[in-house]
Amino acid sequence: MTQNKHTDDQTALRERQGKGARYDSPAAPAHELMLARRGTAYFARLLNGIKDDDLDVASLIPGWTRRHVVAYIAYQARQLALMIEAVHDGSPVPVFDTQTMSKLIEDGATLPARALRNLFDHAEVHLNVVWRDLSADNWAAAIMLDGTQVWIRETPWIRARAVWVHAVDLASEGSFLDFPSSLLDALLNDLGKTAPFEKHSLERKGNDCWIIRPDREHEPIFAHPADAARWLSGRGARRLTGLPRNDATFEIPLWPPIFAASA
């Protein structure tokens, strides 16, 4: 993102917040923060539209109900908030391994509906407050997330892709067609670097089309950015042109991995 883009996003946010509000540091990744916050609001809107009894319905993630998805999004926010807060305070940074997170999610999925919704709300507020209070030096620091060193300035993007993509996993009314164009571009750029697609070529052709070139044995596949992101993230093929049927080459795993900091 360009510096001008950062400045424009920050100015717009300050105008919305009004006088007396506390602001993100000028060194903060403003566009990624905007995507994370918009995505959280999108996730919250979909969650609010799901009745308590319907939280037990299966999600798009195999073996998980909607409850598990909500618990994961909540505990991811709490994990990030506690780790970043420790950097801000100069305290020892807590470690959350896969086993710990798995247990938190399983336990969280058993909470009463109101408690689960409150967990999501409170964790989101906590993370936002922590981000807002970071200094320029804090944003330039690093943490160990899921065994990988991650710069704190990368955490808004990690959060953004999680809340947007997993909003679709709620199997409610979420759609990749709702995603901002800049988010879709960033998701597709990330997907082009993941293991299943290292030998493939992802090429943007205009604003409304991406071309996926698998290999010499297959014809190119053409897709709208939203449909390309949906398919390449393992959530089904829709409205694709040139996709072969029943070809193991195109059996795509879910992305992003639940516990991976980056992929």
Total domains in the fold of the chain: 2
**Which pTM does this prediction carry?**
0.86
The pLDDT assigned to 249 comes to 47
Q: Which domain, by its residues, includes 216?
A: 182-250
Do 113 and 236 lie in one domain? The reply is: no
Provide the mean pLDDT of the chain.
86
pLDDT reported for residue 23: 82
pLDDT given at position 1: 46
Q: Which residues of the chain have pLDDT under 70?
A: 1-21, 195-200, 214-217, 243-252, 259-263
How far, in Å, CA of 182 to CA of 1, rounded?
10
- Together in a domain, 213 and 89: no
Same-domain check for residues 117 and 49: yes
For 10, phi then psi, to 5°, come to -65, -40
Give the 3-state DSSP-derived string for 91-149, with helices as H, strands as E and coil as C.
CCCCCCCHHHHHHHHHHHCCCCHHHHHHHHHHHHHHHHHHHHHCCHHHHCCEEEECCEE
**CATH number for the domain that contains residue 159:** 1.20.120.450
Radius of gyration of the chain (CA): 19
pLDDT at 192: 78
Same domain? For 125 and 202 the reply is no
pLDDT digits (tens, 9 = 90+) for 55-113: 999 999 999 999 999 999 999 999 999 999 999 999 999 988 888 899 999 999 999 99
Model pLDDT, residue 196: 63
Place of tokens 């080459």: 249
The confidence score (pLDDT) of residue 111 equals 98
pLDDT at 193: 78
